[in-house]
């Protein structure tokens, strides 16, 4: 078994899809054959229309199998049980080693694409930091000045319920006239107030700046690891790939949140929110809207909170899409199968 450097491993053909194309194949065990190594694994691409037989036992329908190399240079295709018969204990070791190398090669190839990704793109995404900072400040002010309202709205959004509703139970008039034996409910539900909440994406994160920075750090770690893989375990490579994949998802959500924020702070939506809060009767305050401000009156004073909405252009998703395409981290893992 050859010990590959990461560079050699990247180019190595550990897995092939047409084992029949190799030269030097023999279909019977050569006289005095001495097992040298497992040369590669195959997953036959023409399967199940065409099948690869085991050259040792003739088992006819392999999709997955191994190319075995003998000291003489001759090659033979076989399944793992026949391989174990000719190679003894070393077979399992070699099979495991091949599997580990294939695993590492998969991550090396993903990271190789990351190296090739345009770093300018990452800088362009970092430039969005200011926008996330604005939204985080908005959260801080909202939470500080209207803590109850802030909590209630977050709960509502977490429930995935964008409708603000106030209901009461009222006596059912029909119940008075019901004859015996008729089943009529005594009380019915009455909707007093209903407002469809807009811009719920504002509440995706309570601190979008922090989440943005942490996601970007995970993406930068991926670039750093991609530039120097030597000495790092395959698990470490897999971890940075997983983290970067999660980071891209978070970034997508955060961008959506920024883009939805102006909808939350639109006067008509704030009006609905303030009426809902009044219905709930939080403390003895009354909420109202004055221009762009949400006000409340605590009986003695009117407190006015200005939430200057970040009326900037929406963030273009295309940058993120380009980044994930460049990193191609959505690629599904190849199956390392066996017969």
Contact residues for Zn ion (CB under 5 A)?
Answer: 54, 56-57, 59, 79, 82
Min dist CB 244 to Zn ion, Å, is 42
**Contact status, residue 27 vs residue 55, Cβ threshold 8 Å:** yes
Three-point CA angle 62, 67, 73, nearest 5° = 150
Nearest residue (CB) to Zn ion, 56 versus 237: 56
Min dist CB 339 to Zn ion, Å, is 8
Residue nearest to Zn ion (CB): 54
Nearest residue (CB) to Zn ion, 9 versus 56: 56
Min dist CB 52 to Zn ion, Å, is 11
Min dist CB 54 to Zn ion, Å, is 3
The contacts of residue 105 (CB under 8 Å, 6+ apart) are: 9, 10, 12, 14
Min dist CB 225 to Zn ion, Å, is 41
**Contact status, residue 106 vs residue 333, Cβ threshold 8 Å:** yes
Nearest residue (CB) to Zn ion, 82 versus 101: 82
Min dist CB 62 to Zn ion, Å, is 8
**Paired tokens of 227:** 């530039």
Euclidean distance between CA atoms 216 and 202, whole angstroms: 20
Nearest residue (CB) to Zn ion, 63 versus 243: 63
The contacts of residue 184 (CB under 8 Å, 6+ apart) are: 172, 174, 175, 178
Nearest residue (CB) to Zn ion, 57 versus 163: 57
Distances in Å between the Cα of 195 and the Cα atoms of 211, 224, 277 are: 30, 48, 11
Nearest residue (CB) to Zn ion, 82 versus 135: 82
Q: Which DSSP symbol is given to 316?
A: P
Nearest residue (CB) to Zn ion, 86 versus 295: 86
Partner residues linked to 194 by β-bridges: 165
Min dist CB 59 to Zn ion, Å, is 5
CA dihedral 31, 34, 35, 39 (to 10 degrees): -80
- The SS3 of residue 52 is strand
Q: How many CA within 13 A on the CB side of residue 32?
A: 1
């Amino acid at each position: 078994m050859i010990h590959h450097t990461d560079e050699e491993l990247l180019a190595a053909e550990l897995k092939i899809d047409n084992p029949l194309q190799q030269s030097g194949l023999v279909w019977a065990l050569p006289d005095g054959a001495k097992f040298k190594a497992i040369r590669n694994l195959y997953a036959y691409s023409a399967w199940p229309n065409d099948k690869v037989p085991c050259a040792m036992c003739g088992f006819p329908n392999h999709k997955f199998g191994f190319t075995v190399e003998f000291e003489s240079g001759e090659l033979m295709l076989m399944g793992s049980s026949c391989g174990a018969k000719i190679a003894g204990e070393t077979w399992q070791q070699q099979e495991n080693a091949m599997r580990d190398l294939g695993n590492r090669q998969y991550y090396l190839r993903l990271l190789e694409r990351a190296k090739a990704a345009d770093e300018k793109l990452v800088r362009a995404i970092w430039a969005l930091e200011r926008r996330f900072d604005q939204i985080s400040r908005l959260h801080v002010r909202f939470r500080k000045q209207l803590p109850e309202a802030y909590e209630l709205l977050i709960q509502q959004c977490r429930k995935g319920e964008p409708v603000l509703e106030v209901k009461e139970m009222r006596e059912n008039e029909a119940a008075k006239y019901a004859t015996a034996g008729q089943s009529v409910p005594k009380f019915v539900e009455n909707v007093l107030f209903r407002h469809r909440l807009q811009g719920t994406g504002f509440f995706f994160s309570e601190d979008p700046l922090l989440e943005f920075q942490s996601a970007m750090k995970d993406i930068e770690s991926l670039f750093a690891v991609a530039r120097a893989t030597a000495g790092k375990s395959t698990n470490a490579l897999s971890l940075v790939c997983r983290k970067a994949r999660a980071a891209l998802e978070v970034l997508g959500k955060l961008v959506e949140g920024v883009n939805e924020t102006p909808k939350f702070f639109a006067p008509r939506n704030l009006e609905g929110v303030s009426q809902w809060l009044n219905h709930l009767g939080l403390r003895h305050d009354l909420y109202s809207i004055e221009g762009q401000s949400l006000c409340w009156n605590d009986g003695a004073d009117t407190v006015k909170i200005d939430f200057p909405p970040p009326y900037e252009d929406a963030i273009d998703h295309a940058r993120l899409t380009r980044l994930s395409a460049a990193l191609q981290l959505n690629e599904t893992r190849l199956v390392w199968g066996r017969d």
